[in-house]
Structure 1
């Protein structure tokens, strides 16, 4: 007898960081301690920095088990073509209303069918907010794993007919504004990819990019002190280099600066996320392609990571098809259902673009653990340590989830082999 979804419950909860008005910050909002002074500029924000919110979704199954997922949205909600700010109280009725009405009574094991149904739901003709699709799909994946007695990794691998990873996916640590202290932590823990850096203003990068150069040079010097450690550097500049230089991005001034970054990072590989924010997907693809071609022609080995305007599955495909980036960030909350994140990672297979399964510091422990399964199932190139900006907690959550899952899958495989021998 199949296990059914009996009830759906939504509980307003908290996320692991904050919502920030990126437009106001880029416009020069003054940082006041941990807060910002000034008026918000993005619709939906009451202040520039607001406490993050989440909405926990619980599916009660006929087996007596409860499956869980968390609806949450990115730190910079409403920016770069993303859905508006997510207010948990405003969307609770949607989950307990139209979503619950369609899910009750359905087979909990049928993840693909349930996730497809969820993606097609609308309210007043509009698709569900990406955060709702994200959180409910996590609960559906958890329900399918519970109903089939397996892992979320196996459920996804079966849906897409792929072989999951047999080793942990390289984890990418994010430092927040404590970019030196947290980078030191990452170095001591041997994090494979680091440190993000949060270089989201001209003040932090330097009016001529000099502060970013100094930081990358410092990072390389610190990493060289650790024997047998070979990390990859990944710096997010939030489009600010575009403000410093402007197009065309293949001119000598820009290429020379990237060459300076390359020398500062040596001997470690370097990738720069979001070098500019061109204002639209088409413009972003054009400008990133120009920069990537310029770097290639000059022999400057700095990889570019697509972030701004690369939000949906279609966006990911567009950047990959155009050859606009060496790496695309799959920003999990922005794609809606977790199955769409899996599909985005798999869309990079067979191309020269790597898939970074990212997301946001503003997620939760539940969504982070679910993403660890997506990364394992699809063999993503790297996985963001999340939630939060303290580094240690997020690194622990995703690392431990992957290790536990791999151990469980290994024990299951061993048991199957023993049964076959008997």
Structure 2
């Protein structure tokens, strides 16, 4: 079925753009905003409204299929593409991108998505957010044209067998790290709470505040969670452990701190995302390897998650090849085309590194649903509840999309099996 039109409409995202460098340099919060001037190129304020572009792919049968262009909350940080603004990029989608895709066969998803990946405009590669959103719409259009699910289209493109149960969802609390964690406990969320530990105030001068928080998580999870609840704690510290302790990361003081976190979480597992941010990929990998080796030598069982400087498919490969993390976050908007996220998850297969299909609070409902299909197609270790920082909405969107798809695929398989039996008779 032919693609007959590509349309782009400015929209909002599920959260905000934040100037991470300004925040880490000590910008003070003023209610929901921050005082001071931004330091990252493109920002007008330290916190400003998140933007998206709603992309619609029209097919020859008159149907329209959606994807949303979105970029991460901390755009322009850690080697990522610059701040994404709808006003700048709508003309690109309705111009060169439409010229490339209109007239193509919607059922050839992988070929269409790869063509988008290879495009450039005036010698500059398309912004990751454009590739991300347009490829979602191509995926949805292909599923419609083939009369199947986006999970099946993605699985065919990647050569995988989809999961038959929902992938574990990772809930993120935002700054409301106590109330939102309690919401997660009540719903029995398998991985939680993110906690947004992005300042010395939140982690403590010596890390003591985070240890106390993990102790609270352990106790409160058993008070509020369902019978037999065994959560996995996942804390994103935005490099703050490195800020407090500094290198080398395999020394006793650092290892002892991770041992304290392990003890606070016991008997449950804990994983720490972004323990340090040293400013570039090569040094980040070296620091992560140093930390992991120090923890292994001391028998400390805390998993380390790569985030900073692990943005592109090539970055994921580098972290996995160096055995620099127990998990790598596949930060979906940063990889460009949504199939690239699936390929990055697959790259972890057969290694000691697990794939966390992540993203950002600053996405939309459409991009979150598309990612739920990538999670099912690849059987990722965990998938982020998104968008937003309120938890409930993002969890509902991602969990329900997976449950609905699993149920649909099971019904279709049952019908197929019944038809085969009838034919044999």
TM-score normalised to structure 2 length: 0.98
State the 1:64 CA deviation: 1.6
Which residue is equivalent to 1:170?
A: 168
Q: Deviations over 1:146-168 (max 9, x none)?
A: 00000000001111221100000
Separation (CA, whole Å) in 1 of partners of 2:64 and 2:38: 39
Q: Spell out the pairing of 1:215-230 with structure 2 (5 A cutoff).
A: 215-225=213-223, 226=225, 227-230=227-230
Q: Deviations over 1:363-402 (max 9, x none)?
A: 0000000000000000000000000000000000000000
Separation (CA, whole Å) in 1 of partners of 2:61 and 2:357: 32
Which residue is equivalent to 1:75?
A: 73
SS at match of 1:393: helix
Separation (CA, whole Å) in 2 of partners of 1:72 and 1:41: 22
Q: Deviations over 1:98-149 (max 9, x none)?
A: 0000111100000010001000110110100000000000000001100000
Q: Spell out the pairing of 1:142-221 with structure 2 (5 A cutoff).
A: 142-221=140-219
Which residue is equivalent to 1:338?
A: 338
Separation (CA, whole Å) in 2 of partners of 1:159 and 1:344: 13
Separation (CA, whole Å) in 2 of partners of 1:361 and 1:245: 28
State the 1:409 CA deviation: 0.6
Which residue is equivalent to 1:403?
A: 403
State the 1:37 CA deviation: 0.4
Separation (CA, whole Å) in 2 of partners of 1:332 and 1:172: 15
Separation (CA, whole Å) in 2 of partners of 1:179 and 1:208: 20
Instruction: Report whether the alignment pairs 1:292 with 2:292.
Output: yes
Which residue is equivalent to 1:281?
A: 281
Instruction: Report whether the alignment pairs 1:124 with 2:122.
Output: yes
State the 1:224 CA deviation: 2.3
SS at match of 1:369: helix
Q: Deviations over 1:177-236 (max 9, x none)?
A: 000000000000000000000000111111110110110010001112233100100000
Q: Spell out the pairing of 1:339-418 with structure 2 (5 A cutoff).
A: 339-418=339-418
Separation (CA, whole Å) in 2 of partners of 1:232 and 1:177: 19
Which residue is equivalent to 1:233?
A: 233
Which residue is equivalent to 2:82?
A: 84
Give structure 1 stretches of 5+ with no counterpart: none
Alignment equivalent of 1:32, drawn from 17, 30, 36: 30
Separation (CA, whole Å) in 1 of partners of 2:283 and 2:289: 10
Separation (CA, whole Å) in 2 of partners of 1:394 and 1:363: 10
Instruction: Report whether the alignment pairs 1:114 with 2:112.
Output: yes
Which residue is equivalent to 2:51?
A: 53
Separation (CA, whole Å) in 1 of partners of 2:57 and 2:321: 38
Q: Deviations over 1:221-263 (max 9, x none)?
A: 1112233100100000000111101110000000000000110
Give structure 2 stretches of 5+ with no counterpart: none
State the 1:411 CA deviation: 1.0
SS at match of 1:305: strand
SS at match of 2:278: coil
Which residue is equivalent to 2:136?
A: 138
Aligned residues: 420
SS at match of 1:319: helix
Q: Deviations over 1:63-104 (max 9, x none)?
A: 121111000000000000000000011100000000000111
Which residue is equivalent to 2:319?
A: 319
SS at match of 1:224: helix
